[in-house]
C-alpha cells in the first residue's frame, strides 16, 4: 500500500475519532412534583462525572405544554438571587443549581441544591404567569428528579463508523489484489 494511501486512511480515522470525542450529548430530564405537575425536557451538554457542563439547546415542557416564550435562558442561584449564565446540572438532584426560564421571564423551572438555600434538601419550583399552570414547589426535590442520556446517535459516531468501514474495505481491497508470496521449496540433493 502506498504511503499516501496509508496516511489518508490514518487521517480519516483520526478525524472520525476527534469528531466523536468532541461532541455534545443530548440528555432528557424530568421532574415529577408532588401535586402531579410533570416538567420534562431535553438539553445538550458534556458529561463530567456526575455533572453535565456546557448546557445549551434547552427545551422545557409543563405537562406536555412547551414553556411559553421564544427562547430558553439558563441561569443559577448565587445565594441571594437568580442570575443568567451557566446552569449547574447534575444526575444527583442535590447537586443541581439551575434555572431554565423563558426569555421574557413569563415561566420557568428551577432545581436548586441544598447549599444554595442552606438546607439539607434541594428545592424545585415551576412558575408561569399564564393561566394554564399553578405554581408548584417541592422541598425534597431528590425524589422527583431524573436525568438520562438520550439514545439518539449523532453525526460524529456515524462518521467514525463510516471511516472505520472505509479502512476495512481498503485493507481488504489491497490484501485481495496483492499476489501471495511465492514460497521456495528446498529440495534434497
The arithmetic mean of pLDDT across residues 158-169, rounded, is 62
98-122 pLDDT, tens per residue? Answer: 999 888 767 888 888 756 555 556 7
Identify whether 185 is part of a domain. Answer: no
128 compared with 53, residue with greater pLDDT: 53
Residues 74 and 108 in one domain: yes
Residues 87 and 164 in one domain: no
The Cβ-side half-sphere exposure at 115, using a 13 Å CA radius, reads 9
69 compared with 47, residue with greater pLDDT: 47
pTM for the structure as a whole = 0.64
The arithmetic mean of pLDDT across residues 72-78, rounded, is 88
Starting at the edge strand found earlier in the chain, the sheet holding 97-102 runs 82-84, 72-77, 97-102, 107-112, 123-128, 136-138
Other Cβ atoms closer than 10 A to 93: 24
The arithmetic mean of pLDDT across residues 85-100, rounded, is 90
Among the ranges given (44-58, 65-79, 116-130), the one the predictor scored with the smallest mean pLDDT: 116-130
The yes-or-no verdict on residue 67 having pLDDT over 70 is yes
Q: Which cell numbers in the block locate residue 112?
A: 436548586
pLDDT for the residue 21: 45
Residues 125 and 78 in one domain: yes
Residues 87 and 136 in one domain: yes
pLDDT for the residue 138: 67
Identify whether 186 is part of a domain. Answer: no
The yes-or-no verdict on residue 54 having pLDDT over 50 is yes
Among the ranges given (1-5, 138-142, 144-148), the one the predictor scored with the smallest mean pLDDT: 1-5
Identify whether 187 is part of a domain. Answer: no
Residues 95 and 35 in one domain: yes
How many domains would you assign to the chain? 2
Residues 75 and 105 in one domain: yes
pLDDT for the residue 17: 47
Residues 17 and 78 in one domain: no
Which domain, by its residues, includes 164?
3-21+154-177
Residues 30 and 94 in one domain: yes
Residues 39 and 107 in one domain: yes
pLDDT band of residue 187 (cuts 50, 70, 90) is low
Amino acid at each position: 500500500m502506498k504511503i499516501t494511501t496509508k496516511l489518508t486512511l490514518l487521517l480519516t480515522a483520526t478525524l472520525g475519532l476527534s469528531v466523536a470525542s468532541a461532541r455534545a450529548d443530548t440528555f432528557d430530564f424530568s421532574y415529577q412534583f408532588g401535586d402531579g405537575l410533570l416538567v420534562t425536557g431535553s438539553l445538550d451538554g458534556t458529561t463530567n462525572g456526575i455533572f453535565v457542563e456546557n448546557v445549551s439547546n434547552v427545551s422545557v415542557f409543563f405537562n406536555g405544554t412547551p414553556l411559553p416564550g421564544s427562547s430558553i435562558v439558563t441561569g443559577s442561584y448565587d445565594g441571594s438571587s437568580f442570575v443568567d449564565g451557566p446552569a449547574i446540572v447534575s444526575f444527583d438532584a442535590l447537586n443541581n443549581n439551575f434555572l431554565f426560564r423563558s426569555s421574557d421571564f413569563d415561566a420557568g423551572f428551577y432545581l436548586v441544591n441544598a447549599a444554595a438555600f442552606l438546607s439539607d434538601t434541594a428545592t424545585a419550583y415551576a412558575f408561569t404567569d399564564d393561566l394554564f399552570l399553578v405554581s408548584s414547589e417541592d422541598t425534597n426535590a431528590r425524589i422527583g428528579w431524573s436525568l438520562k442520556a438520550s439514545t439518539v446517535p449523532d453525526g460524529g459516531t456515524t462518521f467514525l463508523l463510516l471511516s472505520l468501514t472505509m479502512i476495512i474495505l481498503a485493507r481488504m481491497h489491497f490484501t485481495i489484489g496483492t499476489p501471495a508470496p511465492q514460497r521456495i521449496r528446498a529440495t534434497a540433493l
